[in-house]
Amino acid sequence: MEQRHLGRTGLRVSRIGLGTLGWGRDTDEHEAAASLKVFWEAGGSLVDTADVYGDGEAEYLLGQLVEGLVPRRDLVIATKAGSVPDPDRRFNGSRGHLLAALDASLRRLGTDYVDLWQVHAFDAQTPLEETLQALDLAVSSGRARYAGISNFSGWQLAKAATWQLAGGGSRTRLASTQMEYSLLQRGVEREVLPAARDLGVGLLPSSPLGRGVLTGKYREGMPAGSRGASGSMAGFVAPYLDEAASRVVDAVRTAADGLAATPLQVALAWVRDRPGVVAPLVGARTARQLTEVLSVETLSLPDEICQALDDVSAPVHRYPDQDWSTL
């Protein structure tokens, strides 16, 4: 699999990442092991998890598989901290919480360092400088090799990355930002992606298949066993089951038919090769599903197909993003 630099750093990662959101919940230890082996054998290296995935079970499962199944040196392990199961405070970016969470992650992962440590979300109740100091301490102590952020808006990303760059060698450059990005969710193109590209921060798209909708499996109804039919995940899928999304799904299906490919391959290739994107993160539930995901490596979309998909999925970006000077 092709390898790409993560932002403006020397770290190289596979251009498809393995997400573990469902490990310990939808994916048991046997499927997790099979998936990791398939991913590694295909040349995949970037594995993304978080301390809250499966209440820590995703990190634990990954830790059990590393070395015994896949050499640690062959993986780029990324995890996140900052989300908390508190109805009054969803995110905690305080230095104390983040560093304690990192130590707990390392214990579950069975390693003394992670390759990429990410702040899971912006915490408006904590000074940003304090949150960023936790990243600096994690890297300077050797517990993390690189640092990134997740779910930061454009201005939040720009402020964080600029603060880190202003410190020169005493602060850790942000390597990445993780955000949802697909043909059904192009909001990052408004401010996040331009800021990331300007500041040398690589984008790691989550939900690159539009929460599964772009595969086309919901075109004829609600499949049994799908996320959309799940009591816990139905609300996650529902926003992408409207008429506008259906038009995009139909366009992806038409493109796939013309290329003798699958809708999954077309949708994933589109986001994988967008400017500024480093590696879409795909959370396949089974090793069989992951094998189909990895087959996208041989597909590159023709320019005319990309343009057609761009047009049918184009978000409305007007003032102040464009044409403001003529108003």
Query: Mean pLDDT in runs of 10 for the chain (327 residues)?
Result: 97 98 93 97 98 96 95 97 86 97 98 98 96 98 98 97 91 97 96 97 97 86 62 75 92 97 98 98 95 97 97 85 58
- For the beta sheet containing 281-282, the strands, ordered from the edge strand earlier in sequence to the opposite edge, are 202-206, 174-180, 144-150, 114-119, 76-81, 46-48, 17-19, 281-282
Place of tokens 């290329």: 259
Residue numbers annotated as active site: 53
Cα–Cα nearest to 309, from 280, 277, 284, 274: 274
- Number of residues assigned to the chain: 327
Residue 87: asked if its preceding bond is cis (omega within 30°), the reply is no
User: What are the structural domains of the chain?
Assistant: 3-210+271-301 (3.20.20.100)
Query: What is the pLDDT, as a whole number, of residue 254?
Result: 97
Q: State residue 294's pLDDT score.
A: 97
Q: Looking at residue 169, what is its pLDDT?
A: 81
Give the integer Cα–Cα distance in Å for 31 and 28: 6
HSE at residue 147, side-chain half, CA atoms within 13 A, is 28
Determine the Cα–Cα distance for residues 282 and 260; give it in Å rounded to an integer.
22
pLDDT at position 241, please?
82
Can you give the pLDDT at residue 237? 81
Identify the three-state secondary structure at position 44: coil
Tell how many helices (H) and how many strands (E) occur in the chain.
11, 10
- What is the SS3 string spanning 62-119? HHHHECCCECHHHCEEEEEECECCCCCCCECCCHHHHHHHHHHHHHHHCCCCEEEEEE
The position carrying tokens 């590694």 is: 40
The conformation of residue 326, written as its DSSP 8-state character, comes to G
Residue labelled with tokens 């630099």:
5
pLDDT value, residue 227: 63
